[in-house]
Structure 1
Amino acid sequence: MKRFILTTLSAVLLATIIGIAIKHYGTGYVVFSFVDYTVESSFTFALGLLVIGFFVFYYLLRIISRLLNFPGYMGQRHTDRQAERSKNAIIKGLIEMSEGRFEQAEKIFIKQASLSDTSLLNYLLAARSAQQSEAYDRRDEYLRMAHESMPSADIAIGLTQAELQLNHKQFEQALATLNHLSSVSPRHGYVKKLQARVYQQLEDWEHLWPILEDVRRLKAVDEAQLEKMEIQASIGRLQKSIKNAQAEKNWQQLPKRLKSNAELITLYASYLCKQQKDDEAEELLRNYLSDRWRDELALLYSNLNASDCKKQLETAETWLHNQSRNPLLLLVLGKLCLNCQLWGKARSYFESSIGIKPMAESYLKLAILLEEKMDAPEDAQKMYQAGLLHAVNGETPPVLRSGLENVRPPLLKVIQ
């Protein structure tokens, strides 16, 4: 359209210029001579004839060009129609898959695979459809045909195969596929991510760990997910090393960022405690609890028999600054007082803990203390009964509740 308008404007401009020239200088004439023939014409007629001849010659050339290119034009139209049919077939197949009609989708993809230049895509989609229909033999056949149709697409086909094997819980087969892909493309992030998933499912923590280092370097997963995987792998490796008496070596090999993880600290501190290395466990737990709080780690801390029990108690009492109303910390302090043979102080801590939140262990520790160290069997009996009632029904006897409401932890005023 733009070309037509431009041509028209040019013709009008040219005609205007010629008209002005003719009006100013006259029409003039033109003489054509060829051998013995002479033709004389007015300039206007000759110019008009020349213009008409130009357009006739121009459009004649265009017609000849179209005729010469007609086979190619028809071939392109056929290709375009075939591409359109292929696109529509893929869309239809995807709709069938989305609606759960996997067998119909599979038939559409396979039929189209031999008719279009998108055979690779059709075979891969057919394999996914067959997987959903639990036709695993057909799935593997389609993957083989996909590879035959385009051998250069080894990564795409292999990843599809690995994903399908993973979904079918064929972990060993998926691992073999991914190991091959990793050898072909060692820096492929998605391959490493899938490898990590397989080792995770197989609980092969030793092989998972170096893969996670690759995943971190390639940024194949987000930081939060990677941290969870690293913690899981570290716990698995540490548990295995405990069985093989290699726990301390394994702990030393852990990255610093993971040595502050509560789950790993709990596992390693429990191991040290069982190995009667309470002082090492005490230092580990003390360093953690001084910066952040976890009830379960504090409870583990109270079960240690450190060589300097008074120092251990003093350390725990500093935590009252931020945890003054924490019943579990008060229970911990009571247990540490027992280790230091501070019976009266232990009793106060246990009673304070029960006054804030009754717990079966608090009742039990207090009852044993009253019975064995403070010669108060009747009070001990009440604590046994109260602890049993709480353990069964989660209740505290009204008499005990009223008596414990006003109990306060010892030394709180001094510390605060």
Structure 2
Amino acid sequence: MRIFLSLVILFAAAIGLAVGARFNPGNVVFFYPPYRVDMSLNLFIVLIALLFAILFAIFNAIRTTQQMPQRVAAYRREKRDREGNRALRDALKALFEGRFGHAEKAATRAAESPENAGLSALIAARAAHRIGRPERRDVWLGKVQEDPSLKTARLMTAIELSIDGHEPDAALDAMNELNASGTRHIHALRLALKANQRAKNWPEVLRLVRMLDKRNALHPALSRRLKEMAYEDLLTHQAHDAESLLRVLSTIPAEDKTRPFVAIRAARALSAKGLHGEARSIVEKALAVEWDERLVRAYGNSAGAEGSAELLAQIERCEEWAKSHPGDAELELTLGTLCLRQKLWGKAQRHLEQALSDAGESETVREAHLKLAQMHEALNQPDQAAAHYRQCALSTML
């Protein structure tokens, strides 16, 4: 339809021009002595139009010729960009497919385009790392330093790859540079947590775990396990004397101190340093929050000196717990052990035999028989002591 309308308009214009030219009596005369040129006005108009068209074509050809180098350069640049973008897509596709060698080669081609050089280098660094070429990985990461807009991406990539390559020192160096730039998003915190865990920097691990817990960015089970690992190292390996141990304990939040794992490790460490009172205090507070048989055993291991008021207070406290936790074999064993230490023979025998009756674990049975054997030895009853020693040995073999 559009072609038909165009033809109609064209024919109408041609007819109009023909009719106008037919009734145009004008004449144009050019004098250049001794010459004279006469022509009709219609011919003159046609010649002027042709001259204009020719001049326009000549000037357009000149301008096009002058612009030819720029056009060739633009064409080559566009071609290079198209090839670079295609190579970048190929590199990403190969990286996701796990074809890391092909990904690095494609990224090398893509890096020829200045716009894609930085991202291509990051892809190539990841690919080189996956095929076990850390030296090439570092070379590619070094090339990204030339692009300040990719600083965060480069540092995040360097941290992640260093952690994966078991290079915690390099990861922490990159993390310090990242922190200096003010970047603290959740993924960066997770990577920092992994790096400090690999470096066994447990105080920093605890700090990062608390930060991620506030943002609900860490699974509760993982958070609990990391705290346990950190507290175990802090309380077992870094507390070399009583003063350093108390200093470490002062940095632990009260909520964490009442958790069974932390309380048990703290009680053991305090008892080993001779701080039995502090150990009993921590265990008592933890048991008030959550009842745990392991805490009860740790409470017995932090017993006071024989005949002391602290030991009597422990026995009274255990007797109170026994009223609210009847049938607890570990509690009966602990109470019997404390009574044995205080030389309350009757109470000790009753509680130890009750522990044997309620025990469900071989370790509890073995410990109860051992304590009964020691009691009978102290009472000069060798036959009963020997019988319990035999039972203790049999429970060890089971």
- Same-fold status (TM-score > 0.5): yes
Q: 1:241 Cα deviation (Å)? A: 4.9
Q: Alpha carbon RMSD of aligned pairs, Å?
A: 3.9
Give the conservation status (yes or no) of the 8 Å contact 1:190–1:220: no
Give the conservation status (yes or no) of the 8 Å contact 2:121–2:144: yes
SS of alignment partner, residue 325 of structure 1: coil
Letter paired with 1:197: K
What is residue 161 of structure 1 aligned with on the other side? 158
Q: For 1:149-199, what per-residue CA distance to the aligned partner results, in whole angstroms no more than 9, with x for missing partners?
A: x22211111111121111111211221111111111253443333233222
Separation in structure 2 between the aligned mates of residue 137 and residue 314 of structure 1, nearest angstrom = 67
Separation in structure 2 between the aligned mates of residue 194 and residue 371 of structure 1, nearest angstrom = 59
SS of alignment partner, residue 282 of structure 1: helix
The structure-2 alpha-carbon separation of the partners of 1:319 and 1:86, relative to structure 1 and needing over 3 Å to count, comes to: farther
What does 1:93-132 correspond to in 2, within 5 Å?
Answer: 93-115=91-113, 117-132=115-130
Give the conservation status (yes or no) of the 8 Å contact 1:192–1:215: yes
Choose the corresponding residue for 2:377, options 357, 371, 383. Answer: 371
Residue correspondences, number: 336
Q: Are residue 203 (structure 1) and residue 200 (structure 2) matched?
A: yes
Q: For 1:274-311, what per-residue CA distance to the aligned partner results, in whole angstroms no more than 9, with x for missing partners?
A: 33332332222122223312222211211233333333
Letter paired with 2:180: S
Letter paired with 1:154: K
Give the conservation status (yes or no) of the 8 Å contact 1:231–1:258: no
What is residue 314 of structure 1 aligned with on the other side? 316
Q: 1:321 Cα deviation (Å)? A: 4.4
Q: For 1:233-273, what per-residue CA distance to the aligned partner results, in whole angstroms no more than 9, with x for missing partners?
A: 34433345521532212212322221212222122222332
What is residue 391 of structure 1 aligned with on the other side? 396
Letter paired with 1:333: L
Choose the corresponding residue for 1:140, options 133, 138, 141. Answer: 138
Letter paired with 1:170: E
SS of alignment partner, residue 239 of structure 2: helix
Choose the corresponding residue for 1:338, options 330, 337, 340. Answer: 340
Q: Are residue 293 (structure 1) and residue 299 (structure 2) matched?
A: no
Give the conservation status (yes or no) of the 8 Å contact 2:81–2:113: no
Give the conservation status (yes or no) of the 8 Å contact 1:110–1:126: yes
The structure-2 alpha-carbon separation of the partners of 1:290 and 1:222, relative to structure 1 and needing over 3 Å to count, comes to: closer
State percent identity of aligned pairs: 24
Q: For 1:186-245, what per-residue CA distance to the aligned partner results, in whole angstroms no more than 9, with x for missing partners?
A: 534433332332222111234545555655667664565445444433443334552153
What is residue 23 of structure 1 aligned with on the other side? none
Give the conservation status (yes or no) of the 8 Å contact 2:258–2:285: no
Q: 1:107 Cα deviation (Å)? A: 0.7
Separation in structure 1 between the aligned mates of residue 262 and residue 382 of structure 2, nearest angstrom = 42
Separation in structure 1 between the aligned mates of residue 204 and residue 330 of structure 2, nearest angstrom = 40
Moved more, 314-323 or 363-372: 314-323
Gaps of 5+ in 1: 6-10, 12-32, 38-70, 395-416
The structure-2 alpha-carbon separation of the partners of 1:257 and 1:167, relative to structure 1 and needing over 3 Å to count, comes to: same
Separation in structure 2 between the aligned mates of residue 77 and residue 327 of structure 1, nearest angstrom = 87
What is residue 29 of structure 1 aligned with on the other side? none
SS of alignment partner, residue 308 of structure 1: helix
Give the conservation status (yes or no) of the 8 Å contact 2:84–2:109: no
TM-score, with normalisation over the residues of structure 2?
A: 0.71
Letter paired with 2:284: R
Letter paired with 1:354: L
Separation in structure 2 between the aligned mates of residue 304 and residue 380 of structure 1, nearest angstrom = 26
Separation in structure 2 between the aligned mates of residue 385 and residue 229 of structure 1, nearest angstrom = 42
Separation in structure 2 between the aligned mates of residue 259 and residue 126 of structure 1, nearest angstrom = 47
Q: For 1:351-409, what per-residue CA distance to the aligned partner results, in whole angstroms no more than 9, with x for missing partners?
A: 22223335211111111212322x432222121111111101x1xxxxxxxxxxxxxxx
Letter paired with 2:195: V
What is residue 329 of structure 1 aligned with on the other side? 331
The structure-2 alpha-carbon separation of the partners of 1:207 and 1:132, relative to structure 1 and needing over 3 Å to count, comes to: same
Letter paired with 2:390: Q
Letter paired with 1:390: S
Q: 1:326 Cα deviation (Å)? A: 2.6
